[in-house]
Structure 1
Amino acid sequence: MDTHSRSFAKALSWRVTGTVDTIIISLIVTGSIKLAAAIGVTEVITKSLLYYFHERAWLKIPYGRKTTAV
């Protein structure tokens, strides 16, 4: 089971990852309204993939995990 601090750290690190993703996409795509919508659609796909890999990476980090006695 994850602790609250681990869940918070994961949420924070995910938001940073998502923000960096958005910045990179925004630099590639200009700031028009139509292209802003394109960024939103693109984000749905890229952030879903990034989240999957982010979660898989966190499985390897022991920070904040509680072990249960059997």
Structure 2
Amino acid sequence: METRRRSLVKAVIWNIMGLCTMSLVGFLATGSAAVGGKLAVVNTGIGLTMYVLYERVWSAIRWGRHV
């Protein structure tokens, strides 16, 4: 099982990458850096929260682990 801190660091790094990607996609889709950036920030906030919860749930599940 991994620590909460490790799960959080992984989630933050993953979401920084996602923020950059979504900013670019938002900009390309709307032609506006401001709108694309807002979409990316909202997406990142939701994604970070869901990822941390997802990782914590799976860290508590023993199925499929070899000890």
- The code of the aligned residue for 1:24 comes to T
Name the residue aligned to 2:13.
Answer: 16
Say what the alpha-carbon RMSD is for the aligned residues.
2.4
- Structure 2 counterparts to residues 1-70 of structure 1, below 5 A: 6-28=3-25, 29=27, 35=33, 37-58=34-55, 59-62=57-60
Bigger RCO of structures 1 and 2 (CA < 8 A, at least 6 apart): 1
1: CA distance, partners of 2:8 / 2:50 = 14
TM-score normalised by the chain length of structure 2: 0.54
2: CA distance, partners of 1:52 / 1:26 = 18
Identity of aligned residues (%): 9
Mark the runs of 5 or more structure 2 residues left unpaired by the alignment.
61-67
Aligned residues: 54
Mark the runs of 5 or more structure 1 residues left unpaired by the alignment.
63-70
TM-score normalised by the chain length of structure 1: 0.53
Q: For the pair shown, which has the larger CA radius of gyration, 1 or 2?
A: 1
